[in-house]
Structure 1
Amino acid sequence: MAKPTIWHNPRCSKSRDALTLLEEKGIDAEVVKYLETPPSKEEIREVLDMLGISARELMRTKEEIYRELNLKEVTDEEKLIEAMAEHPKLIERPIVIKEGKAAIGRPVENIIDLLDG
């Protein structure tokens, strides 16, 4: 069984909480610091499919870069995915991926459901 992956931002308290939760459960997860190693457009598409949400729902719409790029006006999913690949700060965090499923750790209980499911 492949170990879970967490898209992690060490500066984010929710992301740190999710990593702590994994550690407390004794789960050895692959930690991807996605701001340093941004996911590809394909990886973002895969996560969107796993989550069953739109690109906009995965975006941090309050980030300054969201306003700077005028993404509120963009309706093309592919353009939103491209923006997240180019500016990973736009991606909601943390995301835990396990066995073809994913959960956004806001709230952290979402991750518990994924791990226990």
Structure 2
Amino acid sequence: MIQIYHNPRCSKSRQGLAIVEASGQTFEVIKYLDNPPSTTEMEGLLTKLNMAPEALIRKGEAIWKEQFKGKDLDHSALVDALCTHPKLIERPIVVNGDKAVVGRPPEAINDVL
């Protein structure tokens, strides 16, 4: 089943959700700010995205600048930051089977539908 990691307050995430809805496929909405991914789930997402954790971090967020910017963080510390502070996760993320994509731009979601 298709999953979308969604933040309703984000316009790109809302655009991504509209693309998934328009596909006519069954999907699950995961409001990751309310239910942050576990470390295991985040590692699985990164594998499906074929991304390093740093590439998934929203570096413009205040929490990144205040707590993490300029620090030498290893893979597990970055994954922990994403799980502990889900606001740092780039969005939306759409997962379909063993593939996933960050919907930036939203049209990229079509690659996994």
Please tell me the TM-score bracket, short chain as reference: over 0.9
Contact persistence 1:66–1:72 (CA under 8 A): no
Unaligned runs of 5+ in 1: none
What is the CA deviation profile of residues 3-36 of structure 1, one whole-angstrom value per residue up to 9, with x for unaligned ones? 1000000000010001111111212210000000
* Distance in 1 of aligned mates of 2:26 and 2:7: 17
* Distance in 2 of aligned mates of 1:41 and 1:68: 22
Aligned counterpart, 2:74: 76
Contact persistence 2:16–2:107 (CA under 8 A): no
* Distance in 2 of aligned mates of 1:41 and 1:74: 19
Tell me the percent identity: 45
Shift of 1:64: 0.3
Query: Between Structure 1 and Structure 2, how many residues are aligned?
Result: 113
Aligned counterpart, 1:10: 8
Aligned counterpart, 1:28: 26
Q: TM-score when scaled to structure 1? A: 0.92
Q: TM-score when scaled to structure 2? A: 0.95
What is the CA deviation profile of residues 85-115 of structure 1, one whole-angstrom value per residue up to 9, with x for unaligned ones? 1100000000001011100000112110111
Unaligned runs of 5+ in 2: none
* Distance in 1 of aligned mates of 2:102 and 2:72: 23
Aligned counterpart, 2:99: 101
